Amino acid sequence: MGVLDDKVAIVTGSARGIGRATAELLSAQGAKVVINDLDGDVAEQTAGEIAGETAVYAGDLTKGDAPDRLVQTAIDAWGRVDIIVNNAGYTLDAPIHKMSDDWWERMLAIHVTVPFKVIRAAAPHLREPAKKEREEGVEVFRKIVNVSSVSGTMGNAGQANYSAGKNAVVGLTKTLAKEWGQFKINVNAVAFGYIETRLTASKDDSNQMEIGGEKVQLGIPDQLRGMASMLIPLGRPGTPEEAAGGVFFLCSPWSNYVHGQVLNVTGGQFTGMTT
């Protein structure tokens, strides 16, 4: 028995890293999970390796009606949505005077517009059951968790685009919490610090991803990676599994009275990597 038995969860960007660890943890607690990634082969592999029930939607969520089709994947498979984790994202780093319009707009698209469109697409599947339950005097809590970052809440040199997007998702979270609290839909965010993923690995030619046929460099310089023990009171970066723990709490019944909040999962780090 799990605390999320029979719940249906959508986790974006869930074939690797924090997203995969989150999908695995939700599944281990009984949830049925939609796995999403740009790379369909990796998404299918991840879905096959997770023990519980899964469905797959592979595709770029910044394109066309992809957010609607993502939500429809859950409805087609299980007829409902109970949990949404907006986790998909990546970085395009440059000082602001060298940053292109394209890099600025791409960060806002994936980190703010995609969560907005996923939530909007899921709205009838979250709100309509809640209206009926409210009429019946029954409380059933559903969950939305948006992934932010200390780069968004505190700023970070070289990441004006990413920081702006991650800060904007906090505003989206707090606004939606005010609008949808009446439906017992808990809306919260997690702000991650330095978690060991592709985004914080060494910045070299082996650490790249492909988006729309273009290779995108990921990672941070090794000099900054080496500063982690000085920036983080716990003395090390977090693991994807530890990051997923914070998300799981906000998806669980123990967070039913936690609403409109930003949970810092940072090992005690409360600044950007270079401040």
Cβ atoms within 10 Å of 96's Cβ, excluding its own = 11
CA distance 21 to 243: 8
Percent of the chain with pLDDT over 90: 78
Q: Is the pLDDT of residue 106 over 60?
A: yes
Q: Give the mean pLDDT of 43-60.
A: 96
Average pLDDT score over the chain: 90
C-beta separation of 33 from 59 below 8 A: no
Give catalytic status of residue 257 as yes or no: no
Give all domains of the chain, ordered by start, each with its CATH number.
Answer: 8-265 (3.40.50.720)
pLDDT in tens, 167-225: 999 999 999 999 999 999 999 999 998 888 655 544 445 545 556 666 654 545 555 65
* Helix or strand (DSSP H, E) at 216: strand 214-217
Residues forming beta bridges with residue 142, ordered by sequence position:
185
At 119, list the tokens: 């939530």
Q: Is the pLDDT of residue 274 over 50?
A: no
Q: Is the pLDDT of residue 87 over 50?
A: yes
Q: Give the mean pLDDT of 124-144.
A: 97
Question: Which of these, 88, 78, 149, 137, lies nearest to 116 by C-alpha position?
Answer: 88
| pLDDT at residue 217 in the model | 46
pLDDT band at 269 (very low <50, low <70, confident <90, very high): confident
| pLDDT at residue 235 in the model | 85
| pLDDT at residue 210 in the model | 56
Q: Give the mean pLDDT of 118-133.
A: 98
Q: What is the CA radius of gyration of the chain?
A: 18
| pLDDT at residue 214 in the model | 63
C-beta separation of 99 from 160 below 8 A: yes
CA angle 58, 61, 63 (to 5 degrees): 110
At 129, list the tokens: 């059951």
Whose structure tokens read 């460099």? 217
Least confident segment among 28-32, 57-61, 237-241: 237-241
| pLDDT at residue 273 in the model | 52
Q: Is the pLDDT of residue 140 over 90?
A: yes
CA distance 139 to 262: 23
Catalytically annotated residue among 57, 162, 194, 257: 162
C-beta separation of 251 from 198 below 8 A: no
34 class by beta-carbon count within 10 Å (0-12 exposed, 13-18 middle, 19+ buried): buried
The reported pTM is 0.89
